[in-house]
Structures are given as structure tokens and as C-alpha cells.
Amino acid sequence: MRVALYQRSPVLGESDFLQSYVASQPDWRIALRSSDDGSGATLKRPGLQRVLAAARSGDIDVLVVKHMYNLSRTTRHLADLLDELTSLGVRVVSAADPGLDTGSPFGLFLVRVVSAVAEIEYAGALADRRDRLRHKQESADESPLAG
């Protein structure tokens, strides 16, 4: 099995972790290493595009990421990526969460559920941040020291 490793905003030790995961799988060999430092909110990342090009040309069989959210922070983008990769015969595996593996229908279902929950949590965190900023601004406006 020809494997691509993909990292978005790699952290210390992540590359070794992914390589160890691949080494633990019989008959897997690393064919491509790719990484980005860009936002997970967009698919326009050079490293991700290299992985997609390799998938489209039939050069990889498996894509290994540490976490599925390394592919995308939005459910729609992740679903689009998974649809394209699986239609090209590329299995997507999370090394940190081995149950998240598109090699089975149940694994693909789990990936989509987890990504949807993650997006809901992210949206909630953004709403909380906006509420705190709005409250801070309103409090400043009501201050007797305000201009």
C-alpha cells in the first residue's frame, strides 16, 4: 500500500508519530509526505493539493493524518474531500483515532459524525467569543469614565 502522510500546522513529534503508525501496518510504505501551515478553513493549501494530485493520478492508496480535522475544519469541505478521495479508491485513516477510517462504511460514518460535532463546537466557540467581545464593548460604553 502506497501511503501519503499529510500534516496541517505540524507539531513537534507528529511526523515521527505518523511514520511509526505506518511502520506498524503490514505492507504499507510512505510514497508521499506533505504538509501545510495554512488555515483548515480553506482547501487552497499547496500540501493538500499535492495529496489530491497524487490521489487523482493513482499514486497513493491510503492517506494518513493524525486527526481528521487536519484535512478541514468545516464539515462540508471534509465531506467533499472524503467523497473525492474514496471515489478515487484512497482510504483515509486517522493515526490518533484508528476508528476513524474510511476503509469501512461504519468508519466513514464515524468520520462524518465526528466532523459535524467538531464544527458545531467550533461555531459555538466563535459565538461565545463574539458575545464576550460585545459584552466588553457594551460595558466600556456604559462606564462613567467613557468619553
Report the predicted TM-score, pTM, of the whole model to 2 decimal places.
0.77
**Domain residue extents for the chain:** 2-142
Q: Read off the pLDDT of residues 1-52 as tens digits, 9 standing for 90 and up.
A: 999 999 998 888 999 999 999 999 999 999 999 999 877 778 889 999 999 9
Side chain identity, residue 112: R
Q: What mean pLDDT do residues 90-97 have?
A: 94
Residue 8: what are its φ and ψ, rounded to 5°?
Answer: -110, 125
Span 2-142 CATH architecture: 3-Layer(aba) Sandwich (3.40)
User: In 3D, which of 69, 88, 91 has the Cα closest to residue 78?
Assistant: 69
Residues 6 or more apart whose Cβ sits within 8 Å of residue 112: 75, 78, 79, 82
The percent of residues in the chain predicted with pLDDT above 70, rounded, is 93
Number of helices and strands (H, E) in the chain?
A: 4, 4
Pairwise pLDDT comparison (22 vs 133), residue with the higher score: 22
Residue 11 burial class via C-beta count within 10 angstroms: exposed 0-12, middle 13-18, buried 19 and up = exposed
Contact 64, 5 (CB under 8 A): yes
User: C-alpha grid cell for residue 85?
Assistant: 478521495
